[in-house]
Amino acid sequence: MTTPIEQRVVHIISQLVPVKPEAIKPEHRLREDLGMDSVASMELLSMLAEELELDVGVEDVADVHTVGATIALARDFLAKKNVA
Amino acid sequence: MSALPPIVGDDVAGPLSAEVARFAARAIDARAIDQAHAIPKAVLSGLAELGLFGLTLPAEYGGAGCSMRTAAQVVAELARFDRSVAVTLGLHLGLGTRGLVKYGTASQHERYLPSLCTGERIAAFATTEPQAGSDLSALSTKAVETAGGALRVNGRKVYVTNGGLAGLYTLAVATPGLGGRERGQSLLLVERGDAGFSVEAEEHKLGLRGSSTTGLVLDDVTLPATRLLGEPGMAVPALAHILSWGRTLMSAGCVGTVRAALDKVQLQVATRRQFGKPLAALEVVREQVARFEARAFGMAALVDEVARAEGDVLLVRSLAAKVFASEGGWEVVDGAIQLHGGLGFIEDTGLALMLRDLRVTRIFEGANDVLLSHFGASELTKPLPRVALTTQVDAALAGVAAEADDLAKQVEATRQSLLSRFKVGIFRQPRWMHQLGAACTWREAVDSAVRLADTTRRPEDIARASVLAFDAKARVARLLNEPIPRDLLEVALRETLPLPEVRP
C-alpha cells in the first residue's frame, strides 16, 4: 500500500521521464536507474516543493539521489510545515 | 602567420605542433576539401604517418599515450588550415576512442586499439537520433538481451561525424532492464560489417563538408555481450567523461580557426586603405581587432586549462570552454568578414568557409543553450571552487586580477540572491539558469586569461586579459539582469506561438 506522498512523488517522476508509475521503486536512483539528467532531477524536487508548498532550499536537496530519498525529503518537510 | 599562445610546461606539444603545421601547410587545401566534400586519402595517410591517430591512445597498443592537452594543441594547429581535417582527427581522439580507452576491457583494447592507433580503423561516436538530441532519456535505439545472452539492437542514429569513414562506432543505446536498471542506457561497440548494420549516405551540410556525416541503421543487429562498453546501464556517467574530451577538443579547433581568421585580419587592416589611411589606423577598427585578439586569448587560455583538468572540474569547465570557444569563434570570424568588407563575402578569402565550418560548433556535442542551463544548474548546486586571483598573481597583473575578482563577486552575489529568492524552485526558472550559466562562462574565461597572462608576463597578454575582462563586465552585467517577464513573453507570442500542451 503506497502513501499519498509516495504516489505524488511517483506521479511527478512519471511526468518527467517516460516510465510507468508502477515500475518506479523507492530504491531507484534518479539518474542512473531512471535516466534523469542533473537538471531533470533538480526539477523533480522543485516541482515537488511547489506542489506541496514546501520551503525547501537547494542545500537540502544536494544529497537526494533516489526515489526513496525524495519521498523521505517530502515527508520531513511536510512534518516541519505541519508543526509550524 | 602568428602562433597560437605559448604552450607552457609541455615538452611534446610544441615540437609536434610545428611538425603538424609543416605537414598541413604542404598537404591541406581547405578550399579543395570543401569543394570535393571529402578529405583526400593522402591527407588521412599523412596524419597516420605522423602518428596522430594514436596520439592519445595507450603506448602498449602502438599509441603515443599523450595527454588531452597535446591533442588539443594538434587539433588547434590543424584547424588553422582546415576544420574538416581537425574535426575528423579530433572526433577520433575524443568521442571516438575515449570511451574505449577508459572503459574498455583488455580484450576490447587488444581487438581495436592497434588498428585505431595506425588509422587503419577510424572511430566514430553516435548518440543523436531523429527524436533524441541533448535529451539522452529519449533514446529509442534499443539493445535487448536475447535468451542466449546476446544483445539485439534496433534503431537509427543520425548526424554521425566520421560515419562514412569509421570502422568502429561507439553507440549510446537504451538498454531497459539491462544490469537491473529500469531506464538505463549503455554504450555499445559496433563494427562496420556487423550483420544488419549499415551506413547511410553522406549528408549535404552548410559547412565541414570534408568531414563525413552520415546516419547509421541498426536492423536486428545481434552482438555478443562482450560488445558492451563499460558497465551495463551506466552510459550517463561514462558519457559525461567522453563528452568532456569531445567538447574540449572541439573547442581547441575553434581556437585554431580564430587564429587563422585573425591572421587574415592583420594583413587586411594593414594593407587596405580607406579615407586616405590603412584600416589599421582607424580607432574603431583598432578597438574591434583588440577585442577579437582578447577573445582569442581568452579562448586559448580557457581551453588550455580545461585540457589539463581532471574529474569534476574537467566535466564542468568543458561546458564553459565549449560554449565560450564556439560563440567566440562565431563572433570573431563574423567580425573578420566585416573588416574585409565585400572581400570577406567572397569564398577565395577563406573566411566564408571558416564561418560555415564554425556554425555547427554551437550545436554539436551539446547545443549551447542546453549546456548553459546545465552549467547554471551545476553552479547552483555545486559551484566551481575559486580562489581570488589577486592573491595569486604578480603585481603587474593586480589591476586585471581585481577586475576578475569583482566579476566573480557579481556572479556569486546573483547566485546567492537566486538561491534565497527561489530556493529549490530555481530549477523551475530555466532562463535564470541559462543566464547564470552564461555569466559563469565569462567568469571562467577571464580567470583563465588572467592566469595565462600571469604565466607569460608579456605586456600584450596582460592587456588582452584586461580587454577581455572589460568586455566581460559589460556582458555579465546584462546577463545578470532580470529576464523578460513571462506574462509579457506570452502576450508577445499569443498569435504566433501559443504555449503548446506538454504531454508526459
| CA dist., res. B128 & res. B362, Å (int) | 15
**pLDDT per residue of chain A (84 residues) written in tens, 0 to 9:** 578 889 988 988 888 887 888 888 899 888 877 878 778 888 899 999 998 899 999 998 888 999 999 999 999 998 888 876
Cβ(B250)–Cβ(B94) under 8 Å? yes
Give B212 to chain A, closest Cα distance, Å.
30
Picking from B2, B47, B100, the residue whose alpha carbon sits closest to that of residue B464 is B2
Chain B: residue whose CA lies nearest to A55: B423
Put simply, the answer to whether B426 touches A19 (Cβ < 8 Å) is: no
Chain B stretch 356-415, residues whose beta carbon is closer than 8 A to a beta carbon of chain A: 373-374, 377-378, 380-382
What percentage of chain A's residues is helix, strand, coil (to nearest 5)? 60, 0, 35
Interface with chain B: mutation pick from A58, A77, A81, highest number of B CBs within 10 Å: A58
- SS3 label, residue B429: coil
DSSP B164: T
CB contact, 8 Å: B503 with chain A? Answer: no
Cβ(B126)–Cβ(B170) under 8 Å? yes
CB contact, 8 Å: A17 with chain B? Answer: yes
Candidate from A17, A31, A45 with C-beta closest to B424:
A45
Give A71 to chain B, closest Cα distance, Å.
16
CA distances from B388 to B311, B316, B382, B398, B404 (A): 22, 19, 18, 11, 9
| CA dist., res. B210 & res. B34, Å (int) | 6
Q: In this structure, which amino acid lies at residue B298?
A: G
pTM assigned to the model:
0.94
> Concatenated DSSP letters for B60-94?
GGT-----HHHHHHHHHHHHHH-HHHHHHHHHIII
Tell me how far apart the 2 most distant CA atoms of chain B are, in Å.
81
CB contact, 8 Å: B426 with chain A? Answer: yes
| CA dist., res. B287 & res. B467, Å (int) | 10
CB contact, 8 Å: B421 with chain A? Answer: no
pLDDT at position B10 is 66
Q: In this structure, which amino acid lies at residue B503?
A: R
Cβ(B80)–Cβ(B256) under 8 Å? yes
Q: Which chain A residues touch B381 with a CB distance below 8 Å?
A: 38, 42, 58, 62
Put simply, the answer to whether B374 touches A50 (Cβ < 8 Å) is: no
Q: Which chain A residues touch B434 with a CB distance below 8 Å?
A: none
Give B239 to chain A, closest Cα distance, Å.
12
Cβ(B97)–Cβ(B123) under 8 Å? yes
Cβ(B100)–Cβ(B122) under 8 Å? no
pLDDT at position B374 is 94
pLDDT at position B7 is 60
CB contact, 8 Å: A40 with chain B? Answer: yes
**pLDDT per residue of chain B (504 residues) written in tens, 0 to 9:** 666 666 666 667 788 999 999 999 999 999 999 999 999 999 999 999 999 999 999 999 999 999 999 999 999 999 999 999 999 999 999 999 999 999 999 999 999 999 999 999 999 999 999 988 767 778 899 999 999 999 999 999 999 999 999 999 999 999 988 877 667 889 999 999 999 999 999 999 999 999 999 999 999 999 999 999 999 988 888 999 999 999 999 999 999 999 999 999 999 999 999 889 999 999 999 999 999 999 999 999 999 999 999 999 999 999 999 999 999 999 999 999 999 999 999 999 999 999 999 999 999 999 999 999 999 999 999 999 999 999 999 999 999 999 999 999 999 999 999 999 999 999 999 999 999 999 999 999 999 999 999 999 999 999 999 999 999 999 999 999 999 999 999 999 999 998 887 654
DSSP B309: -
DSSP B132: B
Q: How many residues does chain A have?
A: 84
pLDDT at position B503 is 57
What are the residues facing B277 on neighbouring strands? B274
Put simply, the answer to whether A50 touches B425 (Cβ < 8 Å) is: yes
Picking from B220, B216, B87, B219, the residue whose alpha carbon sits closest to that of residue B158 is B216
CB contact, 8 Å: A46 with chain B? Answer: yes
CB contact, 8 Å: A57 with chain B? Answer: yes
pLDDT at position A23 is 86
The helix or strand, by DSSP H or E, that contains position B213, with its residue range, turns out to be: strand B213-223
Cβ(B142)–Cβ(B153) under 8 Å? yes
Give A59's Cβ-side CA count (13 Å radius): 4
Residues with Cβ within 8 Å of residue B398, at least 6 apart in sequence = B390
The count of other CB atoms within 10 Å of the CB of residue B267 is 12
Residues with Cβ within 8 Å of residue B250, at least 6 apart in sequence = B87, B90, B94, B322, B325, B326, B361, B364, B365
Task: Write down the catalytic residue from B305, B365, B403, B444.
Answer: B365
| CA dist., res. B205 & res. B160, Å (int) | 13
End-to-end CA distance of chain A: 28
CB contact, 8 Å: A15 with chain B? Answer: yes
CB contact, 8 Å: A4 with chain B? Answer: no
| CA dist., res. B64 & res. B57, Å (int) | 6
* Cell 551506413, located at residue: B199
End-to-end CA distance of chain B: 55
- SS3 label, residue B353: helix
pLDDT at position B87 is 98
Put simply, the answer to whether B424 touches A14 (Cβ < 8 Å) is: no
Interface with chain A: mutation pick from B181, B417, B424, B433, highest number of A CBs within 10 Å: B424
Pairing of strands B123-126, B168-174: parallel
| CA dist., res. B425 & res. B419, Å (int) | 9
Q: Confirm whether B19 is a catalytic residue.
A: no
Q: Which chain A residues touch B185 with a CB distance below 8 Å?
A: 35
Picking from B158, B164, B156, B258, the residue whose alpha carbon sits closest to that of residue B210 is B164
pLDDT at position B5 is 67
Picking from B328, B319, B274, the residue whose alpha carbon sits closest to that of residue B300 is B328
Pairing of strands B168-174, B185-191: antiparallel
